[in-house]
Chain A
Amino acid sequence: MEHKIRVFSTQTCPYCITLKQFLKENGFEFEDIDVGADQETAEEMVQKSGQKGVPVVDIDGEIIVGFDREKISKLLDIKE
């Protein structure tokens, strides 16, 4: 099943790097949005997630705050 994945992150955030690595290692493509560089997408992230921390990942419209491995694996059907 195809998923639409958008990752809101900053360039310096270690958890963001780990999350993106996790997605790549499991073969998932995603839109990589640097909210540190783009004020508009930063505001979009705050509106969607209700908070100002990164990473935030949008999987098919479902918002996950932080690298919640269990929740992300469940949504993407990743078996570990």
Chain B
Amino acid sequence: MLAPIVENYLGLEPPLAGMELVNKMVSQLKRNELEIKEGVKVEGVESDGQIVIARNKNDSYQAKTTIIATGRNPKKLGFENEKKYLGKGLSYCSTCDGPLFRDKEVAIIGGGDSGATSVLEMEPYASKIYWIVSTYRATPLYVDKIKKIGKVEIVEHSRAAAIKGNDFVTALAVKNKESDQEKEIKVEGIFVTIGSVPNSSLVENVIKLNEREEIEIDSDNKTSKENIFAAGDVTSVPYKQLAVAAGEGVKAALSVYDYLLNRE
């Protein structure tokens, strides 16, 4: 949903923004008269192997089976003051908040494709961009493009060490992992793009998770519990891409269909 542009989903020509694609999917579902309960945050899931119950603070929903497709959330830095600065110069979404940092100096943490695309997104807005890269994992094409942008300074072999500020962010301390030296970079914005974690806490005591806290599934999207299925980025599927997640969703739905047909 947050992707500024989706270019790796076959048939999307011209490419769409993530949100536009989501809207089209929702329209299609509504046209097929699927009831969508919007704004409901499920806070607990339980199953006795026959009935699944999904609960939130006001309601519960019962069904014979369920598909967990809760995706992933941005990985946090893990600093004590991280929550304090969220929205006060710290953001996990350059697509959302980037334009607010027009003519400001910002740091983007993370050497993967998310970090690289954030740098490219911020180019029209920020006056200076520090790209904090511990290890380059981004597509080389992106890295080559970024290296040609004059206002970008790549801080290599480095990790974020601390967020500094008063009411709002004023600086980011970074540590070079080779020299062990720390330095402070004055910035008004910090974008954290260091990867993601599966959104599996809802079912952590209900079904088996792997060492990365992803839901373990088999080739039919079955989990360790007979009547719970899972699909997409929250699972152990090795490739976390939109087209893969969509295909996994279809597989899970077909598996559920078979399960319900054969269930006593």
Q: Which residues of A are at the interface with B, using a C-beta cutoff of 8 A?
A: 10-18, 21, 35-37, 39, 42, 50-54, 65, 69-70, 73, 80
Q: Which residues of B are at the interface with A, using a C-beta cutoff of 8 A?
A: 1-2, 4, 17-19, 22-23, 38-39, 86-89, 91, 93, 95-102, 121, 125, 168, 189
Chain B residues near A42 (CB-CB < 8 A): 100, 102
Q: Is the CB of A14 within 8 A of B2?
A: yes
Chain A residues near B17 (CB-CB < 8 A): 12, 14
Q: Is the CB of B39 within 8 A of A53?
A: no
Q: Is the CB of B96 within 8 A of A52?
A: no
Q: Is the CB of A36 within 8 A of B19?
A: no
- Contact of A53 (CB < 8 Å), options: B19, B23, B91: B91
Chain B residues near A21 (CB-CB < 8 A): 23
Chain B residues near A80 (CB-CB < 8 A): 38-39
Nearest-neighbor residue (CB-CB) of A9 within chain B:
B96
- Contact of A70 (CB < 8 Å), options: B39, B98, B100: B39
Chain A residues near B97 (CB-CB < 8 A): 10, 13, 52-54
- Contact of B1 (CB < 8 Å), options: A14, A16, A54, A65: A14
Given contacts A36-B102, A54-B100, A69-B39, whether A14 and B95 have CB atoms under 8 Å apart is: yes
Bound Cα distance A15, B86 (Å): 16
Bound Cα distance A10, B86 (Å): 17
Bound Cα distance A53, B107 (Å): 16
Chain B nearest CB from A18 CB (Å) reads 7
Chain A nearest CB from B233 CB (Å) reads 17
Given contacts A12-B4, A51-B88, A52-B89, whether A39 and B102 have CB atoms under 8 Å apart is: yes
A-B contact pairs, 20 of them (CB 8 A): A10-B96, A10-B99, A11-B99, A12-B99, A14-B19, A14-B95, A15-B96, A36-B99, A39-B102, A42-B100, A42-B102, A51-B87, A52-B88, A52-B89, A52-B100, A52-B168, A54-B97, A54-B100, A69-B38, A70-B39
Chain B nearest CB from A35 CB (Å) reads 6
Q: Is the CB of B39 within 8 A of A36?
A: no
